């Protein structure tokens, strides 16, 4: 069951990265349109998911969702500005490795997940592989 979700996530991330690069090449006005469409679609998907499951949104969830949304929008704007300046072959490996490292550090700090030595080596090998593939 989990393999299906990983494959879907992999495909959707690839499509998302490709459309980011396309928006970056089209110019600054398309970047803003892309971000608007991307986040409106995410909002509509969330509303649809909550209406299907018939769950109520708590105030704390709404507040945290708004904060996360603003952070994602700011990150999206900065990423798209970087895509305009940097070639994709440089930006995406750096962003992937930085994301992997940030998630590992935040999981340790926020959720107190202590990575094993094997997992630390796995993260290091993954970052090295990302950079070697980019070369």
Please report, in angstroms and rounded to a whole number, the separation of the first and last CA atoms in the chain: 34
Identify the H or E element spanning 133: helix 117-134
Q: What share of the chain is helix, strand, coil (3-state, %, to 5)?
A: 90, 0, 10
- What's the gap between Cα 86 and its chain centre? 18
Q: What pTM was computed for the model? A: 0.58
Which pLDDT does position 63 carry in this prediction?
86
pLDDT tens profile 7-53: 887 777 777 777 767 776 776 666 677 777 777 887 888 788 878 88
């Amino acid at each position: 069951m989990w393999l299906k979700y990983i494959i879907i996530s992999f495909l959707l991330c690839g499509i998302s990265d490709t459309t980011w690069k396309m928006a970056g090449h089209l110019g600054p006005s398309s970047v803003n349109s892309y971000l608007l469409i991307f986040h409106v679609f995410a909002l509509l998907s969330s509303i649809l998911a909550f209406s299907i499951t018939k769950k109520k949104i708590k105030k704390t969830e709404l507040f945290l969702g708004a904060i996360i949304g603003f952070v994602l929008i700011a990150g999206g704007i900065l990423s798209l500005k970087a895509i305009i300046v940097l070639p994709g072959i440089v930006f995406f490996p750096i962003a992937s490795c930085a994301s992997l490292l940030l998630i590992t550090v935040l999981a340790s700090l926020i959720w107190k997940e202590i990575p094993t030595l094997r997992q630390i080596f796995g993260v290091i090998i993954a970052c090295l592989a990302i950079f070697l593939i980019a070369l």
